[in-house]
Amino acid sequence: MGGFALFHLPTIGQLRRSATPGQFALALAIFIFLILFLVIPVGTVIYVAFTERGTGSFTLVNFQDFFSNDLFMRSLWNSIWVSAMTVVWASVIALPLAYLTTRFEFRGAVLIQTLGFLPLVMPPFVGAVALQMLFGRNGTFNLLLDDTFGFKIPFMEGLSGVVFVQALHYFPFILVNLSTSLRNIDRSMEEAAQNLGCSGFRLFRRVVFPLAMPGFVAGASLVFVKVFDDLATPLLLNVKEMLAPQAYLRVTSIGIADPMGYVISVMLIVGSVLVVWLSAQALKGKDYATVQRGGGGLSKRKLKPLEGLMAYSVVVFLLALVLMPHFGLLLMSFATVWSFSPLPDAFTLSHYGRVFDDSWVYVKNTLIYASMAAGIDVVIGTAIAYLMLRTKLIGRHWLDWLATAALAIPGVVIGIGYLRTFYDISLPGGAPLASFWMIIVLALAIRRLPYALRACVAALQQVSVSLEEAAENMGATKARTVRRIVVPLMAGGILAGFVTSFSTAAVELSATLMLVQANADAPLAYGIYVFMQSAAGRGAGAALGVVAVVFVGLCAFITHLIVERSQRSKGFES
């Protein structure tokens, strides 16, 4: 890597002064992990972007090609526009849900939080088909509209279609992170404001929302980056003129040994890291930490009857909208034939019978892979957040940027990179390391690390450093302080990160498809994919999709219950 020479390398002495040996060792360990499982595998694939055709020598001419190609430039602007608009619309959906459920005494808040989170769990392929069946050009809504009023609404056409679907799909990133932040705000801040005569919307705008900024920014930057790098939705809507689909289409076509697919991947990585850097700049120089933790967040207020009615209508409307794809999925899983009609022709249970035998092994594998990957993610995420916010270690931001870059790397690139890097290493017994199921876990962990990381960073930003100083003054060691003070105070954020990583890992396909080497090791997403390749398998695939959603939903629900309980056990009764 010639690039490293460009940066000023600190001397050993400078390094030693910047952190304790323990912190230094921790940073080194994470750095090695990222190099081994992210930089090297990805490097084996994308170095092509910097080589000249024929000679293989270093060049930047491919980047010049990128900027002089109309299609790529159009794709770049489209991607930026769609990502920005999605952040706006996702906020419109997430803000009321987060605010109403955390700010007021709201029956079923945990249920709403869980349901509001489900859109992230969109099983591959089936989710897409279900959306088309409802919102497509000849989907339920448009067929009914056309019948009664004689017009159709292009929900799923072009770039605005992408924004519509992406906002429905990814708003939970904002919801989860913002809710966690809102819960962590010290009630005394709010009370102080109220004592000074501030209330209502002004209170929200001037005090509550600004204090919850770390969560909102974490969520919004994730949504932006995720949409910027997402290829599933544009491809489902058949929008190819965006960067991620362009990269994917080029990387996966055979016989095309051209570097442009990798050049686009590099552009995606640069874009994503830039956004994360910008969002860090936006929060810089402000202090979001609050000292008091016992309060368990904002005081919850009872809604007046009329307010309650309005609040519930908003929540029910939003939930109905965002859960439409899952409703479509459920219909498909019971449908015999569903073709060019508002509803299926008839209903059957036979699809569930078909998947029953297979699904157990898929569910078990998914549970193992996704929970291990999410476990790795929150451990590393917490560690990076701590190193970044609590130490002066030189180069600590590199850990963040490196981990975040993973978000921008197409799954298929990681898949191929892992095969290249780990296939020649043999396990005892002769089988290649790449065929060992743990490799799938690592690939998932790397791909989902940015989610957990953003949640952990946001959580730690809200913990006041004075609490740790107090502990250390009382004689606790750094390690003990982290274990007994920092981690418990971050618990909400860590769990939010775990849930996000877990549930998105549970339906991840692009990297796993490259790495699954035996059916016995296959996760749910792969099972769905296998069914969804034939007309007769559509119902069965949908049934398996429902299994995936219910399973992930249950896990998320349990986690939310735990969060709620732990908030209460910290002495807060609503």
Partner 1 sequence: MTRSLAATTFATVVLLSSSFASAQAPSGKVSVVTSFAKDVTDPFKRAFEKAVPGVTLDVQNRNTNAAVKLIEETRSNNQIDLMWASAPDAFEVLKGKTLLMKYSPQATGIPDKVGSFPINDKDGFYFGFAASGYGIMWNERYARANKLPDPKEWQDLAKPVFFDHVAIAAPSRSGTTHLTVETILQGEGWDKGWRTLKEMSGNFRQVMDRSFGVPEGVNSGQVGVGIVIDFFAFSAQAANFPVKFVYPSVTTVVPANIGIVANAPNAAGAKAFVDFVLSPAGQEVLLEPTIRRLPVNADIYAKAPKDYPNPFKDPQFQKMISFDVDKSEARTAVVDTLFDQIVTFQLDGLKAATKSIHDAEAALAKKDNAKARALVTEARDLVAAMPVSETQASSEELRAAFTGGKQKGARQSELEQQWSSFARERYAQAKTKADEALKLAR
Site for partner 1 in 36-55 (CB under 8 A): 52-55
State the Cα–Cα distance between residues 140 and 324, nearest whole angstrom: 11
Beta carbons of 231 and 220 less than 8 angstroms apart: no
- Position among 16, 36, 533, 554 found at the interface with partner 1 (CB under 8 A): 533
Shortest distance in whole angstroms from residue 437 CB to partner 1: 7
Closer residue to partner 1, CB minimum distance, 91 or 333? 333
Burial of 451 (0-12, 13-18, 19+ CB in 10 A): buried
Closer residue to partner 1, CB minimum distance, 26 or 507? 507
Q: Which amino acid is at 163?
A: V
The verdict on 342 binding partner 1 (CB under 8 A) reads: no
Stretch that binds partner 1, among 110-118, 204-212, 301-309, 531-539 (CB under 8 A): 531-539
Helical H segments across 284-395, by residue range: 305-322, 324-334, 350-390
Stretch that binds partner 1, among 159-167, 441-449, 480-488, 527-535 (CB under 8 A): 527-535
Total Cβ atoms within 10 A of residue 110: 17
Shortest distance in whole angstroms from residue 48 CB to partner 1: 9
Closer residue to partner 1, CB minimum distance, 19 or 543? 543
Q: Give residues 451-510 in contact with partner 1 (rule: CB under 8 A).
A: none
Please choose, from the candidates 166, 182, 101, the residue with its C-alpha nearest in 3D space to the C-alpha of residue 322: 166
How many chain residues bind partner 1 (CB under 8 A)? 74
- Cα torsion through 343, 349, 353, 358, rounded to 10: 30
The verdict on 375 binding partner 1 (CB under 8 A) reads: no
Q: Which amino acid is at 86?
A: T
The verdict on 152 binding partner 1 (CB under 8 A) reads: no
Shortest distance in whole angstroms from residue 155 CB to partner 1: 12
The verdict on 339 binding partner 1 (CB under 8 A) reads: yes
Closer residue to partner 1, CB minimum distance, 376 or 460? 376
Q: How many CA atoms lie within 13 A of 446 on its CB side?
A: 32
The verdict on 348 binding partner 1 (CB under 8 A) reads: no
- Position among 341, 350, 466, 477 found at the interface with partner 1 (CB under 8 A): 341
> DSSP character for 39?
I
Stretch that binds partner 1, among 59-67, 286-294, 458-466, 484-492 (CB under 8 A): 59-67
Q: Which two tokens stand for residue 497?
A: 């990160």
Q: Give residues 398-427 in contact with partner 1 (rule: CB under 8 A).
A: 412, 416, 419-420, 423-424, 426-427
Q: Which two tokens stand for residue 255?
A: 């016989």
Q: Give residues 277-336 in contact with partner 1 (rule: CB under 8 A).
A: 336
Stretch that binds partner 1, among 112-120, 319-327, 462-470, 533-541 (CB under 8 A): 533-541
Q: Give residues 122-141 in contact with partner 1 (rule: CB under 8 A).
A: 129, 132-133, 136-139
- Position among 31, 39, 47, 65 found at the interface with partner 1 (CB under 8 A): 65
Q: Give residues 70-89 in contact with partner 1 (rule: CB under 8 A).
A: 70-71
Please choose, from the candidates 121, 211, 264, the residue with its C-alpha nearest in 3D space to the C-alpha of residue 551: 121
Q: Which amino acid is at 202?
A: R
Shortest distance in whole angstroms from residue 54 CB to partner 1: 5
Shortest distance in whole angstroms from residue 235 CB to partner 1: 6
The verdict on 370 binding partner 1 (CB under 8 A) reads: no
State the Cα–Cα distance between residues 496 and 66, nearest whole angstrom: 38
- Cα torsion through 150, 155, 158, 159, rounded to 10: 140
DSSP 508-558: --HHHHHH--SGGG--HHHHHHHHTTSGGGHHHHHHHHHHHHHHHHHHHHH
The verdict on 199 binding partner 1 (CB under 8 A) reads: no
The verdict on 258 binding partner 1 (CB under 8 A) reads: yes
Closer residue to partner 1, CB minimum distance, 42 or 208? 42
Q: 301 - beta bridge partners?
A: 104
> DSSP character for 139?
S
Closer residue to partner 1, CB minimum distance, 314 or 337? 337
The verdict on 256 binding partner 1 (CB under 8 A) reads: yes
Beta carbons of 353 and 544 less than 8 angstroms apart: no
Closer residue to partner 1, CB minimum distance, 131 or 463? 131
The verdict on 538 binding partner 1 (CB under 8 A) reads: yes
- Position among 40, 111, 198, 249 found at the interface with partner 1 (CB under 8 A): 249
Total Cβ atoms within 10 A of residue 331: 18
Closer residue to partner 1, CB minimum distance, 287 or 345? 345
Show Cβ contacts of residue 498 under 8 Å, excluding neighbours closer than 6 positions. 374, 375, 377, 378, 452, 559
Determine the length of the chain.
Answer: 574
Closer residue to partner 1, CB minimum distance, 67 or 317? 67
- Position among 199, 313, 350, 534 found at the interface with partner 1 (CB under 8 A): 534
Packing angle of the helix pair 126-135, 538-569 (nearest 10 deg): 100
State the Cα–Cα distance between residues 536 and 483, nearest whole angstrom: 53
State the Cα–Cα distance between residues 206 and 223, nearest whole angstrom: 24
- Position among 281, 518, 569, 573 found at the interface with partner 1 (CB under 8 A): 518
Beta carbons of 345 and 336 less than 8 angstroms apart: yes
Q: Give residues 424-443 in contact with partner 1 (rule: CB under 8 A).
A: 424, 426-432, 434-437
Beta carbons of 550 and 506 less than 8 angstroms apart: no
